[in-house]
A and B are shown apart, each in its own frame.
Chain A
């Protein structure tokens, strides 16, 4: 017997991927509902991108104040109240979360509060405060996100063992912190806690920190962190953690060498696993790939009317990737011509001090792909604006295809580079060659001039180095 659909489209999960998908769906004329069991805005707004950036802004200020005397400004940093920093971070998160609620309402989307599970294709059961209810919809989009993994040896109940959430809401400054995993999240927390006065050790299993970045960027970052007093152990594996009354001890192993690192807190940031528990994916036979939902280029899974986008659908685990996947998925099923998200270049940024921003191929990846390429570099030591503002530590590196002039990759480290990488993103997305890029006039003096010079350098014609 046919039954009436409750909605044309339902989204499970109100993170950046899910809420953007719901808005696009409603814009296109579909009757849409968004199911969320916790806060609108997901990890990104509430427990990820935004609150960490709020904390890192505080750290930036701390550092500016500490270095002000270099410029003849006589200020003393009397004290740091972490609780107030956390207050700023939480306020920002809740303000944005209510902003999402407003957007959802403005777009005529129903929010259903509760935990969703798929009952059968096109039927979802939501358990909320008021009980359980089935909803029917020909299209169901799973956008349930991912969770930072814990390590089996670490007891999450121990007050010394921090999750990312704990690290975002500390009540006091930990005297010493060990961060396991030197990816974006690990490095950002390391950077924050070092700036507010903790002694920080980074432990990374790969042979360099930020292992997915270009090796030159990793090396520059490691040097910068070291100069700030952060200890980086690479090719080093976490063995065990022993809780103690005064301190805990993290045991690590590098080759045959085992060593102990005493600390007040240990934070794990070694990767994420998909939030698929209890969703009922098994009984529907949804295909997974290492725990993440497998989809085609437009987010469709192997099950009729079921789609997956964002963190739950695999790497890269970035909010802007989630948003694009969400929009593409909706546009495709609604009949709008949309370039698959997978074919769009996704920049990645790390908001530590210094910042890292990158897009496209790293140098080793370009080599592996058999490309004929040149590398251009420009050091911020030769950039007037960077020096004038005391941010001369950094560089820009570009990988240029010799055959077509295509910019294959761009890698930046330095102050504020997260705000600049979109210049390369636009050029690469529009398939500009180095020629068109060189013809773009960059304003002087700006740090972005280094982006221009790096492209010139790939041809050996940089003007300022």
Chain B
């Protein structure tokens, strides 16, 4: 039995709730490499291309050009082997019947269900023995190679004996789209020659339709490498010479006789290069809405603590003196300490949408980054898995990419805890508004020399004031207090973080 996977409407940026299909790049039966372009989607802000997360054969298209599909809604089904219609129906049904897949974690809870488009737009596979294209009034006309058309539309028109001059173009840039063909064919009572779903057979598969550079294609033929087995890192997802060489090298190191597994290569993460295209003006608008909502809805309560960071600063100095490849800041140490403390205080490492409380075992920590037109909150995923050096490097990268709008989906969203540090501005202490749906945020002030009493003696130390705002609906005073106490202990004796 084939494994089916869904191609769903992605979420490109905080404000995206739905997208309109602009143009399909694939038809049923097309074989896809992972990351292959599937469909162009337009939102109010951008036109971008949805790509396949896994390799395989397209077995169903679940929406049409012009349909508006909510984030998370089902667009297409891809199979890694032979799949019959019943199987596909069951898969689509399992996703919600109406064509809406469950909204991904990042999708807002209020995403509307997808319109019921699956049943009426599903492309039925052509009968096994397709009749030769019948000539019709659609087939007449001069050479149509200069009629703008999408590659899929052109291929299917040729197979179906349709001259593109006879089709009204409504696709993007005035191109004839697959949908235009359907319309024209329906009007002329003609069956489109849509390719039947083919079995994905890995290494021996026909690779003539794989998008590759000419040199890559020739080299692959020479080395006996199937282009389906290559990554496609070239421009526009083309397989490049280097990809073929890499595939050949990989094969060279594998056991020569044993046939390699035929499972298509999947990329390690399904979250590939989701580019955020939000404009700062839009971000500002979102911030306003989000902050107002959090302040109104969430019963905030605060606990404060003073932390002596002399030890942490000594650690920082020591590390920075010994290693030139990192430049650790006090903020990096703070993030690291929060990640450690959150492990023992899962109640603060959580998300709450008013109904469901999600506690996480990994700490995904958002940090406020000041940008020209507002605050950005990039998320450091699984901060507990990173050492100090890696935390520092990752934070530099996140802060930079937050400003250039190049964060991946899961770097913009999904925080289980947040930190806002205004210490660099000389702020002593402040209260922060919770970054919903996370349940707590730590407000960090400047570390300053202050008088302290140690062993009954008045002395001075570098003191940093921390203030934790928590959502009282799910966090109690004791939870917050215990978390802060542990955080203080970790920062005052940083060696404990090694334990």
Interface residues of chain A, those whose CB is within 8 Å of chain B, are: 1-4, 8, 28-31, 120-122, 138-139, 284-286, 302-305, 333-337, 343, 403-406, 430-433, 435-436
Whether B424 contacts A4 by the Cβ 8 Å rule is: yes
Would A334 and B401 count as touching, CB distance under 8 A? yes
| Bound-state Cα–Cα, A141 to B214, Å | 37
Q: How near does chain A come to B206, taking the closest CB pair, in angstroms?
A: 21
Task: Find out whether the CB atom of A436 lies under 8 angstroms from the CB atom of B331.
Answer: no
Extra inter-chain contacts (4) besides given A29-B404, A304-B396, CB under 8 Å: A1-B423, A334-B401, A404-B219, A433-B215
Our pick among A304, A334, A436 for the contact of B325 (Cβ within 8 Å) is A304
Among candidates A3, A8, A304, A343, residue contacting B400 with C-beta atoms closer than 8 Å: A8
- CB proximity of B267 to chain A, nearest CB, Å: 14
By a CB distance below 8 angstroms, the chain A residues around B399 are 138
Question: Shortest CB–CB separation between residue A455 and chain B, in angstroms?
Answer: 14
Interface of A is mostly: loop
**A4-B425, A121-B324, A404-B222 known; A334-B214 Cβ under 8 A:** no
Interface centre among B218, B242, B320, B372 (most CB of A within 10 A): B218
Taking the complex as formed, is B330 at the interface, i.e. its CB lies under 8 A from any CB of chain A?
Answer: yes
The answer to whether B213 touches A336, judged by C-beta atoms less than 8 angstroms apart, is: no
* Contacts known (A30-B400, A139-B400); A285 close to B324, Cβ less than 8 A: yes
Count contacts on B: residues with CB < 8 A to the other chain.
41
Structural contact, A3 and B424, CB atoms closer than 8 A: yes
Chain A residues in 8 Å Cβ range of B222 = 403-404
Choose from B216, B219, B406, B447 the contact partner of A403 (Cβ within 8 Å).
Answer: B219
Q: Is B324 a contact partner of A284 (Cβ separation < 8 A)?
A: yes
Nearest CB in chain A: distance from B176 CB, A: 26
| Distance, CA A121 to CA B317, complexed state (A) | 13
Whether A2 lies near B330 (C-beta < 8 A) is yes
CA distance A403 to B241 in the complex (A): 13
Residues of A within 8 A of B240 (CB): 431
Q: How far is the CB of B484 from chain A (nearest CB, A)?
A: 20
State the Cβ distance, B464 to closest chain A Cβ, in Å.
9
Q: Check if A29 sits within 8 Å of B213, measured CB to CB.
A: no
* CA distance in complex: A28, B401 (Å): 9
Q: In the bound complex, how far is the Cα of B425 from the Cα of A183, in angstroms?
A: 54
Q: Which of A2, A285, A286, A404 contacts B423 (CB 8 A)?
A: A2
Interchain residue pairs with CB less than 8 A apart (30): A1-B424, A1-B446, A2-B421, A2-B446, A4-B424, A4-B425, A8-B400, A28-B404, A28-B406, A31-B372, A120-B320, A138-B396, A138-B400, A139-B400, A302-B325, A303-B324, A304-B392, A305-B396, A334-B404, A334-B406, A335-B401, A335-B406, A335-B407, A403-B219, A404-B219, A405-B218, A432-B214, A432-B215, A433-B214, A436-B214
Closest 6 CB pairs of A and B: A335-B406, A431-B213, A431-B215, A335-B401, A334-B404, A2-B424
Docked pose: A179 CA to B218 CA in angstroms: 47
- Distance A2 CA – B421 CA, assembled complex (angstroms): 9
Also in contact, A304 and B393, with CB within 8 A (given A1-B330, A333-B400) = yes
CA distance A347 to B240 in the complex (A): 21
Q: Is B139 an interface residue (CB 8 A)?
A: no
B326 within 8 A of A: yes
- Whole-angstrom distance between the Cβ of A326 and the nearest chain B Cβ: 16
Q: Which residues of B contact A336 (CB under 8 A)?
A: 404, 406
Q: How far is the CA of A404 from the CA of B424 in the complex (A)?
A: 58
* A382 CB to nearest chain B CB (Å): 28
Closest to B411 in A: A335
Please name all residues of chain A whose beta carbon is closer than 8 Å to the beta carbon of B213 when the two chains form the complex. Answer: 430-432
- Closest Cβ of chain B: how far from A299's Cβ, in Å? 14
Chain B residue numbers with a CB within 8 Å of A433 are 214-215, 218
- B392 to A, closest residue via Cβ: A304
Q: Within 8 Å CB of B404, what residues of A?
A: 28-30, 334-336
In contact, A29 and B405 (Cβ under 8 angstroms): yes
> Is B182 located at the chain interface by the 8 A CB criterion?
no
